[in-house]
Structures are given as structure tokens and as C-alpha cells.
Amino acid sequence: MIAIIGGGKMGEALLAGLLATGYEPNQVLVTEPDSERAAELRERYQVAAVPLAESARRAATLVLAIKPQDMVELLDELSGDLGSDTLVISIAAGITTSLLEKHLSGEVAVVRAMPNTPALVSRGMTAVSGGAHTGEAQLDHAESLLRAVGDVVRVPERHMDTVTAISGSGPAYFYFIAETMIEAGVAMGMTRDAAKKLVTQTISGAAAMLGDAAAHPVVLREAVTSPGGTTAAAVRELERHGVRTAFTDAIEAARERSRQLSEG
């Protein structure tokens, strides 16, 4: 049994992804304090929404999908209720395995994971790191669970704040670009639907080409950039406006925020 603690946006993305890839509703519990939201999830996915203590008692794996700011209070509440073999997976930005271990009594196996919302459509990207009491089998188990909603990589925990800034927050950067491109098309007279179709298929085609292991973004961009053509004119403007620096600074700001979140 898996229990998802926190039925917000990411909790729902994981829940939907797990159910879409073969988990049965009776294998998953949800704990969500907002009763309206709990009822919505129960109705939408036919899963049981139960109190925290019941999730802790019944589930072999707990996925903590609550805000980092709520984590210490939840861990302190959870601590006495965990079974000796319970695996605790936290997906909270910035929350370290040592903080999880400090607030859970005994030698609890913990995994720090950073997924992203495309888990909702089984195209997520998750990175995982194990804690001090987490064995190979438990990390394998966490990986296989999260693989149900997309790709999984194992990383040293020192990279987790960077992962959070790149792939955790990353979908938002692409939505930001998509929104900007669609609005540019609309400003130039296209319908929003037609512009969205152009942008969506372009992002997905570009991602497919980049997905080839031998592909490099610079080479792919050169192939689009005809001499004296439209792409060269566009890229010159992006460089003039410092978009490359803006992205680098944005990703550094996200990593810094992830670090701050571990400090409470």
C-alpha cells in the first residue's frame, strides 16, 4: 500500500500517474486535510482519503507531498505512528534526508525525491537520493514506484537543489516560453488556438529531436539557423536582451530558494 500525504497539485499528479500506469485505486491512500479537496480526489480517482495516522499504519510507503514549510510539523506528528519497515519518500523542495531523519524517531529509511508535474501524463522526470538508513532495495523500490510516472535518475544529494531548479521547476519555464510565443502569434493576428497548436507541436518536436542521445542543442539550433535568415534575426534579439543570462540567473535563484527552504 502507498499513501500520498498531501493531495495538492503534485500529490494529484503522482496519484494520477500511478493509477494510469497500473496501480489499482485500492493500493493507494490519500491524506488531505482540506475535506472538499479530499472528496474531489476520492471521487475523481476512487481512492480512499484517510487521516494521517491511518495512512502511517496501513501503508508500507509514504510519499510526503506537502509544502516544505509544513514538513517539520508533519514529521513530528507522524514519527510515533510509523512501522519499522516503512519507507518515507519526501518530494518537498529543499527538505534534506538528514532533516527527515532528525524528526522521525528510530532509523527510518527515507528517500528525497524531486519529481515534476508531467508525472500527471506519465512523462515526469524524477531524481532520487537515499538517506543514511536507506538500503539499496529501498532506493530501488522508490525508483520503481516513481518510474511509473516517468524517468528516474539517482543523484548525490548535494545536487538536489540544482535538480529542483532545473527539472522540478523546469516545466514552468517552458510554459512561460510557450505563453510568450502564443501571445506573440496572437499579437500578429493569429487565433490563440492556431498559435497554441504551432507552439505545442514545436516544443514537442524539438524535445523529441533533443532526446536523441547523440544530439546537441547547439548543433540542432545551427540547423534551424539559415544564413541571413529569420532565426538568426530572432536569436540576435534574444542575445541583445540577455535572455541567456536571465535564464541562468533564474535557475540560480531557484536553487538558492531550495537551499533556503531547508532552513525553515
Ligand X SMILES: NC(=O)C1=CN([C@@H]2O[C@H](COP(=O)(O)OP(=O)(O)OC[C@H]3O[C@@H](n4cnc5c(N)ncnc54)[C@H](OP(=O)(O)O)[C@@H]3O)[C@@H](O)[C@H]2O)C=CC1
Q: Is 164 in the site for ligand A1CAB (CB under 6 A)?
A: yes
Nearer to ligand X (CB atom), residue 45 or residue 195 = 45
Q: Select from 169, 182, 199, 255 the one that contacts ligand A1CAB (CB under 6 A).
A: 169
Task: Please state, in angstroms and rounded to a whole number, the distance separating the CA atoms of residues 190 and 200.
Answer: 15
Looking at the DSSP bridge assignments, the partners of residue 63 are 4, 89
Part in contact with ligand X (CB under 6 A); list of ranges 17-25, 87-95, 129-137, 180-188: 87-95
Q: At its nearest, how many Å lie between ligand X and the CB of residue 152? A: 13
Task: Please state, in angstroms and rounded to a whole number, the distance separating the CA atoms of residues 142 and 135.
Answer: 11
Question: Helices H, strands E: what count in the chain?
Answer: 12, 8
Task: Please state, in angstroms and rounded to a whole number, the distance separating the CA atoms of residues 33 and 47.
Answer: 15
User: Between 9-20 and 35-45, two packed helices, what is the crossing angle to 10 degrees?
Assistant: 20
Q: Is 96 in the site for ligand A1CAB (CB under 6 A)?
A: no
Part in contact with ligand X (CB under 6 A); list of ranges 86-94, 192-200, 204-212, 221-229: 86-94
Q: Is 168 in the site for ligand X (CB under 6 A)?
A: yes
Q: Is 11 in the site for ligand A1CAB (CB under 6 A)?
A: no
Q: At its nearest, how many Å lie between ligand A1CAB and the CB of residue 254? A: 8
Nearer to ligand A1CAB (CB atom), residue 31 or residue 126 = 126
Phi, psi (rounded to 5 degrees) for 211:
-70, -20
Q: Residue 66 binds which entry of ligand A1CAB, ligand X, none, with Cβ cut-offs from 5 to 8 Å by kind?
A: ligand X
Which residues between 9 and 38 bind ligand X (CB under 6 A)? 9-11, 31-34, 37
Nearer to ligand X (CB atom), residue 36 or residue 237 = 36
For 42, counting Cβ atoms within 10 Å of its Cβ (0-12 exposed, 13-18 middle, 19+ buried), the class is middle
Please name the helix (run of DSSP H) or strand (run of DSSP E) that holds residue 239, with its range, or none. helix 230-240
Name the residue type at position 141: H
How many CB atoms neighbour CB 192 within 10 A? Answer: 11
**SS3 call for 109:** strand
How many CB atoms neighbour CB 130 within 10 A? Answer: 20
Part in contact with ligand X (CB under 6 A); list of ranges 88-96, 141-149, 223-231, 235-243: 88-96
Residue numbers belonging to the annotated binding site for NADP(+): 5-10, 65-68
List contacts with ligand A1CAB (CB under 6 A): 93, 164, 168-169
List contacts with ligand X (CB under 6 A): 5-11, 31-34, 37, 52, 65-68, 70, 74, 91-93, 114-117, 168
